[in-house]
């Protein structure tokens, strides 16, 4: 459905949106993001991971027809694929779009499915970043589950971000802590990802995710032993970030 008026530049809209909704709740920010004409056409990008069900549930209450982009890297745990189907069905989400890497590109660049062992950044680019870039291209904004408590550059996260002047990134849970996530899941009786109970508080692709020991950082199991803690789906100045966000300029 066409917008009634042309959109202002992204930076202008982001500043105004952050001013307008600075003291609103996560649910209010999400509801406004899905209806405010200055946000534009919006999709939720979801990994269907350990905490994803919170935003998915909020969207199911506000508008079940919201486009939900799920990147199936073809390296995910079977439990994640099953959980995705279970959650989409239980919440009656009717616009889940499963995005997969280009088959020709995976054959050319990773025909043996071993790229993650030799060049994990290149594997993330092939299987996650590039498919996501193509998937979000038609949208003016996309919703993420990033939070300030996750540290690094996220410690100063706003509800609305300027993604290199291209589109708006929306972070409704920016101010939530782990206790808020747990409370919301309990109060709404939401299904948990089965791997959480097995020691996986942060879940990515199977070859690059390990269990986390008690007392470790929740993301310690992601790319363990490597100088890497981001997959590259977040952007700075319009470019994919494949180094930790705290180091990105």
Give the pLDDT confidence of 95-122 residue by residue, as tens digits.
Answer: 999 999 999 999 999 999 999 999 999 9
What's the confidence (pLDDT) of residue 4? 56
Distance (Å) of CA 102 to CA 4, 47, 69, 73, 107 = 35, 18, 16, 10, 9
Residue 238 above 50 pLDDT?
no
- 111 CB burial (10 A radius; 0-12, 13-18, 19+): exposed
Question: In this structure, what token pair is assigned to residue 99?
Answer: 């995005």
**Predicted confidence band of residue 231 (pLDDT cuts 50, 70, 90):** low
Kindly state the percentage of the chain with pLDDT values over 70: 86
Average pLDDT, the chain: 87
243 versus 9: the higher-pLDDT residue is: 9
Specify whether 124 is catalytic.
no
What's the confidence (pLDDT) of residue 237? 41
Residue 184 above 50 pLDDT?
yes
- 154 CB burial (10 A radius; 0-12, 13-18, 19+): middle
**Predicted confidence band of residue 152 (pLDDT cuts 50, 70, 90):** low
Domain 10-247: CATH architecture, name and number where available: 3-Layer(aba) Sandwich (3.40)
What's the confidence (pLDDT) of residue 135? 96
What's the confidence (pLDDT) of residue 99? 97
User: CA nearest 233: which of 44, 45, 38?
Assistant: 45
Beta bridge partners of 85: none
Q: What does the angle CA 156 – CA 14 – CA 160 come to, to the nearest 5 degrees?
A: 45
What's the confidence (pLDDT) of residue 215? 87
Residue 218 above 90 pLDDT?
no
Do 227 and 119 touch, CB atoms closer than 8 A?
A: no
Residues 105, 122: Cα–Cα separation, whole Å: 12
Mean pLDDT, residues 213-217 taken together: 87
**Global pTM value:** 0.86
Question: In this structure, what token pair is assigned to residue 248?
Answer: 């990105």
In terms of phi and psi (left: phi > 0; alpha: psi -120 to 50; beta: otherwise), the region of 37 is alpha
């Amino acid at each position: 459905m066409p917008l009634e008026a042309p959109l202002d530049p992204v930076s202008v809209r982001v500043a105004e949106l952050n001013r307008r909704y600075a003291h609103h709740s996560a649910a209010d920010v999400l509801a406004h993001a899905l209806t405010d004409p200055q946000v534009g056409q919006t999709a939720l990008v979801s990994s269907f991971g350990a905490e994803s069900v919170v935003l998915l549930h909020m969207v199911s209450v506000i508008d079940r027809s919201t486009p939900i982009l799920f990147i199936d890297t073809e390296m995910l745990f079977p439990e994640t694929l099953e959980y995705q189907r279970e959650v989409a069905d239980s919440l009656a989400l009717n616009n889940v779009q499963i995005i997969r890497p280009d088959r020709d590109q995976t054959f050319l660049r990773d025909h043996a499915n071993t790229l993650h062992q030799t060049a994990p950044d290149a594997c993330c680019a092939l299987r996650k970043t590039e498919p996501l870039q193509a998937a979000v291209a038609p949208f003016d904004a996309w919703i993420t589950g990033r939070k300030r408590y996750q540290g690094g550059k996220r410690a100063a996260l706003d509800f609305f971000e300027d993604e290199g002047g291209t589109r708006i990134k929306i972070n409704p849970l920016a101010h939530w802590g782990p206790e808020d996530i747990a409370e919301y899941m309990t109060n709404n009786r939401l299904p948990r990802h089965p791997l959480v109970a097995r020691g996986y508080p942060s879940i990515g692709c199977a070859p690059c995710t390990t269990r986390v020991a008690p007392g470790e950082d929740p993301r310690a199991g992601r790319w363990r032993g490597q100088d890497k803690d981001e997959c590259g789906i977040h952007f700075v100045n319009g470019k994919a970030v494949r180094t930790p966000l705290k180091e990105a300029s």
